[in-house]
Structure 1
Amino acid sequence: MADPKPKADELAGTELPFVQHLVELRDRILYSLAGVVLCAIGLAIWPGPGGLIDFIAIPIRNHMPPDAKLIAVGVFSPFFVPLKVLLMSAMIAALPWLMYQMWAFVAPGLYSHEKRFALPLIFIGSLLAYIGIAFVQFFVLDQMFFFIQGFTPDSVAATPDIASYVQAILSLYLAFGLAFQVPVVVMLLVRFKLATIQQLKDFRGYFIVLAFVIAAIVTPPDVISQLALAIPMCLLYQVGIWGSRWFNKFSRTPEEPEAADKT
């Protein structure tokens, strides 16, 4: 009996010249910038740069005297800090659009089953990033400043500089937004057969140590923020292991045996 005819590669003949790749990259960058600009314009109209700063300053203002305010030490801080906060907020608001543009750039080189699971990953990754940032804004900062203010002597007036405050929370937003991508990374490791579910389970103890090391490096030197980053990373690692089984079934090609999910 003759062997069945091998299935044709659906990507055969779709290669683009290098110049066209550069053109496509340029277009995706321009689309991304346009999305950020539109979000920035919308946020500039409402709630405005002042409203954004008032919002992100809520956690520290809750632990300052009622009549105290953040100060601007630098000469140009009253101009550049609100602009920086506006651009930061616009990039956060446009995050799903930015991730979609990244996917659209690489989509022509993906197989149909890979395209099918790329969009859910964009949604999951964006949602996890938003959860991480919200976790910082509504829990971590409040607990962190409560902890820090507890060590402030009565003779010291805590009047932080707005520029240093914005820089600190930006680093925390970035750290937690990236750290909350752990389930996505775990699912991709399993999907592309870089690791099996059993190997990830065996690595769990090492990952716990690694999570606390990362938290100690990227967060301020206080116990609250370090625990607030390390513990969710450990929990999300386990969520990624659980989600890998579903993700394998969802993204499996027709040629792959179902037994591959049981690794």
Structure 2
Amino acid sequence: MGRAHRHTDPEAQTMTLTLGGGPLASRPPETVNYTIDGPAHRLLWQRFPRRVRALLGSSTLLDSTDAALLHESNLLPQLYVPLADLREEMLEESAHTTHCPFKGDARYWSVRAGDRLVENAVWSYPEPLEGAEWLKGRAAVYWSAVDAWFDEDEEVHGHVRDPYHRIDVRPTSRHVVVRAGGTDIAESRRAYLLSETGLPNRFYLPRQDVRTELLRPSATHTHCPYKGQASYRSLHTAGSVIEDAAWCYEQPFDEAVRIAGHLCFLADGIETVVDGTTLS
């Protein structure tokens, strides 16, 4: 996964089963020897294997060991839990309704915790359409409607992690050079290459191989559900500033722990050259 902008890394949303040419997207890849019969908009229902919780303030709205993920074409996976796993006393019925041509008519509830009211935070399909029957008796919560989500006892940010999204980090001796305006700002043969589902490879360089005197801390911080919290650096060269030219995960999640403290560069005006070939 490459450049994250503010708050949540948008590249975390570019491809899994349902996005970016995945097999359940509306336009699946052409490089297959099979076809998928059925509607262009596809639904896949799978059990989520761990306990999940959602908190509004100090109040637990949702606590479930029977959650499921709905994978839906062109959307991120959505978590659904049995209605019984929501705290009924926190729910206030809403007059709001919506219609989905693939799932049916949804009803909504607002959520109250003390003096706080979050309107239309929870929805359910009381009579789901044929082909989506497994939604009956279950409800979903907007991710941003609550203050914290937990996967078992680990807090997660941005969205629930997709089990089909993968990260691999490998050491590489390939010759990596980073330039800006014709000036070399980094050179390494001991970078880490990070491969992430459906995304371009990214090269993370050790600080010792970067001209860190040209970098200044940025106020930008982003969160990737798969790698963790990133902090950014702006590049200051003679008469030029490139904002948020590089980012770093100081304490990445286990899947990406090897890139801890390493720098990755991507911004307008930045050129990364690997073994003599400029990356697009």
TM-score normalized with structure 1 length: 0.23
| Greater length-normalized contact order (CA 8 Å, ≥ 6 residues apart) | 1
Report the structure, 1 or 2, having the larger helix content: 1
